[in-house]
Amino acid sequence: MPFNITAVKTSSNGVWQGDNPLNFAFPLLIVQTALIIAVSRSLAVLFKPLRQPKVIAEIVGGILLGPSALGRNTAYMDRIFPKWSMPILESVASIGLLFFLFLVGLELDLSSIRRSGKRAFGIAVAGITLPFIAGVGVAFVIRNTLYTAADRPGYAEFLVFMGVALSITAFPVLARILAELKLLTTQIGETAMAAAAFNDVAAWILLALAVALAGDGGEGGGEKKSPLVSLWVLLSGAGFVVFMLVVIRPGMKWVAKRGSPENDVVRESYVCLTLAGVMVSGFATDLIGIHSIFGAFVFGLTIPKDGEFGQRLIERIEDFVSGLLLPLYFATSGLKTDVAKIRGAESWGMLGLVVVTACAGKIVGTFVVAVMVKVPAREALTLGFLMNTKGLVELIVLNIGKEKKVLNDETFAILVLMALFTTFITTPTVMAIYKPARGTHRKLKDLSASDGSTKEELRILACLHGPANVSSLISLVESIRTTKILQLKLFVMHLMELTERSSSIIMVQRARKNGLPFVHRYRHGERHSSVIGGFEAYRQLGRVAVRPITAVSPLPTMHEDICHMAETKRVTMIILPFHKRWNVDHGHGHHHHQDGGDGNLPENVGHGWRLVNQRVLKNAPCSVAVLVDRGLGSIEAQNSSLDGSNVVERVCVVFFGGPDDREALELGGRMAEHPAVKVTVIRFLVSETFRSNAVTLRPAPSKGKEKNYAFLTTNVDPEKEKELDEGALEDFKSKWKEMVEYKEKEPNYIIEEILSIGQSKDFDLIVVGRGRLPSAEVAALAEHQAEHPELGPIGDVLASSINHIIPSILVVQQHNKAHVEDITISKIVSESSLSINGDTNV
C-alpha cells in the first residue's frame, strides 16, 4: 500500500487494536536494528577464523539483507525495509556515524604523524596519487560505458569521486588488522599507521572537494550552477577547519583539563558539552555544504590526546556507537547495493577493472616509494597490501556519491564489492607475505648453566599486569642483583590484553609514544607513570639496565609474545606474576589472621592470565619463575624486619631434589651474595618410611588434568639425580658457607612441616622448585587435589589461600633441556621394595 510519509506515526496502538507495529516508524526501526545486528554478529563469528575485521561482516550482512539476496522477495522488502522507513533508519545510522568519526578523529594523533616523518609521508603520498590517477583513468571508461548520455554526472565531480574511492585507506580497519597480526608495535606497523593517518586526512580534503563540486547532482539538475559556489564551499570549509584548530582547540584543552578526573570522576557536564559539540560541528559543516561527518571528524581532532579525558570519552561512547549504531550504517550501505544491477559482461568487466586498478595502484605506488626510502622489499610489499584496506571511509564516500547522484546503482554496487574484496584479501596476504621471524626454540642458559666465574650479564624478563606488581618485582630483582661485576639486564614487559574495543588500540599507540610501557590505569587512580616511575627510579639507583617493552595481544596468544621476546633478548629467566595477588596488611602481629583470613582474600586478575602462565611454563625457552605476591617489598614487610640488622629481606630456599629445586638453589645462591638479603636453605631428607615404600606415579585420566600436577616423563636415573643434587648442595655450601644458614630436616609429614615454615613470620620470600621430577616425598603429595597445578605440589601448598601463608612465594622451573613432555599425574601406588628414590615408572 502506498504510504504518505507525513502520515507515518511514531508508535502503534498495539496488536489488540488492530495495528500492525511494522507500519509504524519506531517499532519497525527496532525490528530492523535487531535483525541487522543479529545477522552482522553471526557473520562476524563465521569470519573470525578467516581473521576478517568486523566491517566486512557488517557490509556483507547488509548486502544479504538487501536487494541482492533476501530482498529479491518483494514482500519481505516492503514489510521490513519499506521505502518510507529508509530515511529514518539512515538518520539513526548517521548519528552513529557522526560519533564514530568523532572517535576516529580522537584516535588520530596528529603529533605522531608529524613525528613519524618524511618516510611515512612519502609512502602515503604515493599511496594516494597513483591510485587517484588510476581512478581518474577508470572513471573515463566507466562514465562512457555505464551511464546513458542523459544521466551522466559532470566530469569534475565524477573523476574526483572515483579517484577518492580508489585511493582511500581505512585507518580504523587497518589498526584492527595490525593488532590482530601482532604488527602494531613493529616498525612496519608504525609506518603503516602513520601513512594511513596521512592518507585519511588527505582523503577527507579530497572528499570535501568532491562534495563541493557535486553540489546537488550537477548538470543532471537542469540549470548549471556557477563554479563560484564550489569555491565558496571550499573556502568556508577551510575557514571552518582553521576556526576549529585555532579557537576550539585551546577551548577543548581547557575542558579536558577541567574535566579530567581528580578523584576519578569525569564531570558529567563536560562530557555532555563535548557530545553536544560533536552535533554542533556536524551541523556547521552540513550548513556549509560539506557532509556533516566532516565536522565531527575535525572536532575529534581538536580534543587533546594525552589526558584521561579522551580515554574516558571513548569508553563512554564506544560500545554503544560501534556495537549498535555503526552496523546500521554499514547495513544501509549494503541495502543500497544491488549486485543484480551488475548485468552483462561489460559490467563485470568493469568490476574486474576497478578491483585490479585499485589494488595495483595502491600496492605498486606504496611498494615503489617504500623501496626508494630503503624499506626491505618484503616489508614494502606488506605495506602495500596493508595500505590497500578499505572499509569505513570508503563506504561513506560511496554513500555520499550516491546521495549526490554522482554514482548510479550499478557503479555503486561495483565500488562496494571492490571495497569488500580489497579489505578481505588484506589479512590473508599479509600473513602469507610477512611472517615476523619467530625463532626456533634454542636452549638458553638457565641459572645453573651460566657459570659464576664468567663476567657475563644476567638477563631477566619480568612480566607485569599493572602498577600492583611493580614493588614486588623490583624487590625480587634487587635481591637477585649481585654486588659482583655481574651486570643485570632487566626487560620489563607490560602485558596488555587486546580486546574487541578500539580503545585498546589507542593504548597501544600510547605505548609506542612513550617508548615506556603504557599502563592502563587501574580503577584506584594510580597514574601510569607509577610503573614507569618505579622502574626508572630503580634504574638510577642500581646498576641495572632496564628496558621497558609492551606486549599487546589477545590472551590466548600472549605466551607466544613472551616466549618470543625471551628468545630474541636471550634471557636467562622469565618472571611471571601469579594470577592472584594478596593485599598485604601484616603489621607487627596485628590480627594475625584470626578472622579466618577474610581480610586477606586474594585479588584475582582472571583465569585468562592463569592460562597464559601455564602456557609460558610449558613453552618457555629458558627457566621460568612464578611470583606469588603477598606484599613482597611493601613498606610493612620492610618495617617488620628492622631489628637492628641491615637485613631487608629474609629468603628461605626449600630443597627436596630434582632439576627445579637445583635451579631454586642456584637462585638462592645468587641472592645470598646480596648484603641485605639473608638466605636460609632448608633441605628435606628422605625419611625412612619413604625408603621402604617406592612410589610409582600413574598418569591422570585426561579428564581430570586441570586438577593434577605435571611431572616430567623422562626415564630418570634416580641415582644420577641424587648425585646431581648432592653435587649442587656441596657446591652451594662451599661457595656461600658463611652467608647462608643451612638446615636439614627429616619430617614425617611434609605438608605440616612446609606449612609451619610458611605460617611463621621468619621469612619474606620462600623459593621452591616446581618439582616436576619429584623426589619420593614430593611425589607422595601428588594425590592431593591441586588448586594451582602450575605451581607444582609444594608451591601449591604454599600458594593456597586457605593456609594463611605469610611470605611471598617464588616457584622456579628449570628449562627442561630434552623438551620432554610433562604429563599430569594422579595416582600413587606404594609397593614395598628397596628402591630409594621412587622411580617414576610411568
Output the DSSP codes for 520-576.
PPPTT---THHHHHHHHHHHHHTTEEEEEEEEEE-HHHHHHHHHHHHHHTT-SEEEE
- 387 burial (CB, 10 Å; 0-12 / 13-18 / 19+) is buried
Q: Find the DSSP H helices in 434-528.
A: 470-480, 503-514
Looking up cell 593456609, which residue turns up? 803
Q: Please compute the mean of the pLDDT values over residues 487-514 and round it to a whole number.
A: 66
pLDDT at 43: 92
- CA distances to 78, 80, 130 from 75, rounded to whole Å, are 5, 9, 46
In contact, 209 and 180? CB cutoff 8 Å: no
> 592 pLDDT exceeds 50?
no
Per-residue confidence band for 831, with pLDDT thresholds at 50, 70 and 90? very low
pLDDT at 641: 44
> 393 pLDDT exceeds 50?
yes
- Pick the more confident residue, 795 or 784: 795
> 647 pLDDT exceeds 90?
no
Amino acid present at 356: V
Beta bridge partners of 683: 655, 744
Q: Find the DSSP H helices in 321-469.
A: 326-336, 344-372, 377-387, 392-403, 409-433
In contact, 332 and 86? CB cutoff 8 Å: yes
Q: pLDDT tens digits for 773-787? A: 666 666 666 666 677
pLDDT at 837: 37
Per-residue confidence band for 296, with pLDDT thresholds at 50, 70 and 90? very high
Q: How far apart are CA 411 and CA 254, in angstroms?
A: 46
pLDDT at 508: 57
Per-residue confidence band for 527, with pLDDT thresholds at 50, 70 and 90? very low
Q: Which of 676, 678, 774, 670 is nearest to 732 (CA)?
A: 670
In contact, 89 and 332? CB cutoff 8 Å: yes
pLDDT at 566: 83
Amino acid present at 15: V
Residue 35 burial (CB count, 10 A): 16
In the β-sheet with 822-832, what is the strand arrangement from edge to edge? Answer: 693-699, 822-832, 709-712
Q: Please compute the mean of the pLDDT values over residues 571-593 and round it to a whole number.
A: 66
Per-residue confidence band for 104, with pLDDT thresholds at 50, 70 and 90? confident
pLDDT at 283: 95
Handedness of CA 520, 526, 527, 532 (dihedral sign): negative
Cell reading at 87 = 530515511
Q: How far apart are CA 242 and CA 509, in angstroms?
A: 26
Q: Which of 306, 319, 317, 312 is nearest to 501 (CA)?
A: 319
Q: Which of 824, 808, 814 is nearest to 766 (CA)?
A: 808
pLDDT at 124: 87
Cell reading at 475 = 624487590
Q: How far apart are CA 318 and CA 106, in angstroms?
A: 11
Q: How far apart are CA 572 and CA 137, in angstroms?
A: 59
Q: Please compute the mean of the pLDDT values over residues 546-565 and round it to a whole number.
A: 79
Q: How far apart are CA 626 and CA 615, in angstroms?
A: 12
pLDDT at 38: 93
> 453 pLDDT exceeds 60?
no
The CA-to-CA distance between both ends of the chain, in Å, stands at 78
pLDDT at 781: 65
Cell reading at 184 = 602494531
Q: How far apart are CA 217 and CA 151, in angstroms?
A: 10
Cell reading at 81 = 525495509
Q: Which of 517, 536, 542 is nearest to 464 (CA)?
A: 517
pLDDT at 280: 95
The 3-state DSSP composition of the chain as helix, strand, coil percent (nearest 5) reads 60, 10, 30
Q: Please compute the mean of the pLDDT values over residues 533-543 and round it to a whole number.
A: 69
> 246 pLDDT exceeds 90?
yes
> 419 pLDDT exceeds 70?
yes
Lowest-confidence region among 288-302, 486-500, 606-620, 710-724: 710-724
Do β-strands 709-712 and 822-832 pair in parallel, antiparallel, or remain unpaired?
antiparallel
Q: How far apart are CA 788 and CA 766, in angstroms?
A: 17
Give, to the nearest 10 degrees, the angle between helix 308-320 and helix 503-514: 160
Looking up cell 585551546, which residue turns up? 250
Q: What is the biggest distance separating any 2 CA atoms in the chain, rounded to whole angstroms?
A: 108
In contact, 617 and 790? CB cutoff 8 Å: yes
In a 13 Å sphere around the CA of 234, the CA atoms on its Cβ side amount to 13
Beta bridge partners of 696: 829
Question: What backbone torsions phi and psi does residue 264 show, to the nearest 5 degrees?
Answer: 70, 15
Give the percent of the chain with pLDDT over 90.
9
Q: How far apart are CA 116 and CA 120, in angstroms?
A: 6
pLDDT at 573: 86
Q: pLDDT tens digits for 181-223? A: 777 767 788 788 888 888 878 887 888 777 777 765 444 444 4
pLDDT at 615: 87
pLDDT at 36: 92
Q: How far apart are CA 83 and CA 555, in angstroms?
A: 45
> 658 pLDDT exceeds 50?
yes
Amino acid present at 420: L
Q: Please compute the mean of the pLDDT values over residues 239-260 and round it to a whole number.
A: 87
Beta bridge partners of 493: 463, 549
In a 13 Å sphere around the CA of 756, the CA atoms on its Cβ side amount to 7
Residue 437 burial (CB count, 10 A): 7
Q: How far apart are CA 660 and CA 753, in angstroms?
A: 20
Per-residue confidence band for 832, with pLDDT thresholds at 50, 70 and 90? very low
DSSP state of 586: -
Cell reading at 76 = 519481505
- 402 burial (CB, 10 Å; 0-12 / 13-18 / 19+) is buried
Looking up cell 636471550, which residue turns up? 570
Most confident listed range (95-99, 338-342, 636-640, 723-727): 95-99
Mean pLDDT, the chain, integer: 76
Per-residue confidence band for 698, with pLDDT thresholds at 50, 70 and 90? low
Per-residue confidence band for 515, with pLDDT thresholds at 50, 70 and 90? very low
Per-residue confidence band for 55, with pLDDT thresholds at 50, 70 and 90? confident
pLDDT at 199: 84
String of DSSP letters for 302-332: HS-SSSHHHHHHHHHHHHHIIIIIHHHHHHH
> 829 pLDDT exceeds 50?
no
pLDDT at 126: 86
Amino acid present at 254: W
Per-residue confidence band for 835, with pLDDT thresholds at 50, 70 and 90? very low
Q: Please compute the mean of the pLDDT values over residues 370-385 and round it to a whole number.
A: 88
Cell reading at 534 = 618505579
SS3 label, residue 634: coil
pLDDT at 22: 87
Long-range contact pairs involving 789-792 (C-beta distance under 8 Å, separation at least 24): 789/706, 789/707, 789/708, 789/709, 789/710, 789/824, 790/610, 790/613, 790/614, 790/617, 790/626, 790/710, 791/578, 791/626, 791/628, 792/660, 792/709, 792/710, 792/768
Residue 111 burial (CB count, 10 A): 10
- Pick the more confident residue, 382 or 468: 382
Q: pLDDT tens digits for 20-50? A: 888 889 999 999 999 999 999 999 999 888 8
Residues in the chain: 842
Q: pLDDT tens digits for 741-756? A: 888 887 777 778 888 8
Q: Which of 197, 128, 125 is nearest to 167 (CA)?
A: 128
Q: For residues 252, 257, 260 and 263, what is the CA-based torsion angle, rounded to 10 degrees?
A: -160
Cell reading at 513 = 609514544
